[in-house]
Chain A
Amino acid sequence: MVSLARRNLLHDRLRFAITIAGVAFAVTLVFVQVGLFLGLLENASVTIEHTGADLWVTSRNTPNVDFAHTFPETLVQRVRSVPGVARADNLLVWFMQISLPTGTQEGTLVYALEDFAAWDLPWSVKEGRLEDLPRGDYLFLDDSATRRFGPFAAGEYREVNERRLKIIGRTVAARSFTTTPISFVDYGLAQELGSQTLRGKTTYVLVKLAPGADLEAVRAEIRRRLPYNDVFTKAEWAKRSRSYWVANTGIGLNMYLTVFLGVLVGVVVVALTLYTSTMEHLKEFGTVKAIGGSNRDIYRILAEQSVIAAVLGFAAGALFALAAAPGMAKAGLQLIITPGFGAAVLVGTVLLCLAASLVSFRKVAALDPALVFRG
């Protein structure tokens, strides 16, 4: 089979390059925008995803994991006695003041447990021993804090809520949506740091199910015993924490808008370059019709051209985005591009390019083949 479509694309290389650049631009923009969005959102639930809890008991109407509210810590006993619960512990998540060596105050989001190892939290320790935490006025700090707090090292002291704590370890990858750096302290110490507010209080109860236990049955029973709390599965709680930020900040709208504009520019570039190309080759299309080509033959030419532009443009755009990812990560912006998302973008690109070719197709379909006889 001779492909007039491909030959004509290679014949007008410059315009073909412009078409591909248009597609690549849109694809890069979509990957970067959506990837950044997903990256930001992941921060909103990354601690939930990594904590080894099947169910989270929260204070009623807690909107997301960062904005915790207190309830009596003794409720944990009622949860522990529910059949099917293998383990239940209090988790405190609380915003506290940290004083830097420069004298300035910053905020830190404190995660406090009695036994961190039992809940795989923090999940990535770079330095220090977690089991040392309960042994004194100690603190683990996440590496991402360097951006806000300046450099720090194990062995140094920082004041948290006006009490001197020694940094005895470093973690990585523990992040909050608000970029408030996360630190880890012993549960009892956290309550002392929180003084009145946290005395006898917790913010969450983490629940691990016994093997074979029915999640919905356990959840229903916890709800029955704690009628003034909410009980979420891990997935629900992660989703709730993410959705809060999408609904209550401009990031969702901002992403959709940029993606829409980028895609619009891409589609217009493809439609225009394909259209000018079609106009220049109108006589050839007339000849195809004169020698008996049907509208299907014509559409196949246009469709082949737009699919080629879509696939090449997608490849270029995806490469740009992947190439940009490490640099953005250095700037603290993580880009998440999953294979499923990539495949969806490819399919979308092909469909939109095909749609863009319809403008040209309408022109050619209406073409009178009698033009082949005219000068």
Chain B
Amino acid sequence: MTVLSSRNVVKRFTEGKQTVEVLKGVSLEARRGEIVALEGPSGSGKTTFLSILGCILTPTEGRVVVDGHEVDASRPGELPAIRRRSIGFVFQQFNLFPALTALENVEYSLNVRGRKGPAARKEAERVLDAVGLADRTSFLPRDLSGGQKQRVAIARALAGAPPLLLADEPTANLDSVAGRQVLETFRDLAKREDRALVIVTHDPQVRTIADRVAVIRDGLLAA
């Protein structure tokens, strides 16, 4: 089942008198249980593309359908609801809340997604257990290693069962051993929980867990 579908996505940025076309017509699809690696040199537009898939930016042209919802660029007010319902994010910088424990980081994101109370706490415990951090739930981010932080972030993205997971350079701030573990966690969970996963990266390790590799260069997909 297709969770993500994007057609001929074009993105232009205008700064003053200058306009740059960062994406020149990119199409990508992902199905449940599928892991797609999106590679490309720095500045090629990977993050911009991922932001559009994640309904954080809107495309200048083209169509994006997430989990059956067509993204309407003229109604940006509807984007947060799509993100809440259907998308889990993992960032290069982890972006955990420093004042919250591992468990609270996950639980809080469930609260934002509209799930509250003991059910949210249970779900948070479940996903932390799934990423192998059952014994670190009450740790603050500063007391966790980089790899553990990223696994908390993966748990946060998984919580609430969004069908689409998007990760931007999730291993870039980790050493290769920790990066390896994080990727394996990603692969196991995406498969076991049947999520579509798009990982933007220039880390060659990512290929080893991907079902498909797409390469972006100068704003276009290279086969």
Contacts and interface: CB of A to CB of B under 8 A. Distances in A.
Interface stretch (A134-142, A249-257, A309-317, A366-374): A366-374
A291 interface: yes
Given A1-B111, A7-B104, A292-B112, A372 B80 contact: no
Contacts of B91: 287, 372-373
Most buried by B among A4, A284, A292: A292
Interface of A: 1-2, 4, 7-8, 10-11, 283-284, 286-294, 297, 369-370, 372-373, 375
Interface string B108-139: 11011100110000000000000000000000
B60 interface: no
B107 interface: yes
A287 B97 contact: yes
Given A372-B56, A373-B47, 4 more contacts: A2-B111, A291-B88, A293-B80, A373-B168
B44 interface: no
B222 interface: no
A375 B93 CA distance: 7
B143 to A, nearest CB: 14
A11 B96 CA distance: 14
Contacts of B83: 290-292
Contacts of A10: 99
Main secondary structure of the interface of A (DSSP, over half): helix
Contacts of B220: none
Contact of A7 (B80, B99, B168): B99
Interface string B40-65: 00000001001100101100000000
Interface in B56-93: 56-57, 80-81, 83-85, 87-89, 91-93
A373 B97 contact: no
A373 B95 CA distance: 9
A370 B83 CA distance: 13
A291 B107 contact: no
B132 to A, nearest CB: 22
Nearest to A297: B112
A294 B78 CA distance: 10
A292 B82 CA distance: 8
Contacts of B16: none
Contact of B100 (A7, A290, A369, A372): A7
Nearest to B124: A2
A253 to B, nearest CB: 46
Contacts of B111: 1-2
B97 A372 contact: no
B104 A373 contact: no
Nearest to B81: A292
B80 A287 contact: no
A290 B89 contact: yes
B98 interface: yes
Most buried by B among A284, A290, A294: A290
A2 B104 contact: yes
Interface in B167-203: 168
Contacts of B50: 373
8 contacts: A4-B97, A7-B99, A8-B97, A11-B99, A291-B84, A291-B89, A291-B156, A370-B51
Contact of A292 (B57, B95, B113, B116): B113
Given A7-B100, A11-B99, A369-B56, A293 B112 contact: yes
B51 A4 contact: no
Nearest to A7: B99
Given A7-B104, A373-B51, A373-B92, A291 B112 contact: yes
A204 to B, nearest CB: 67
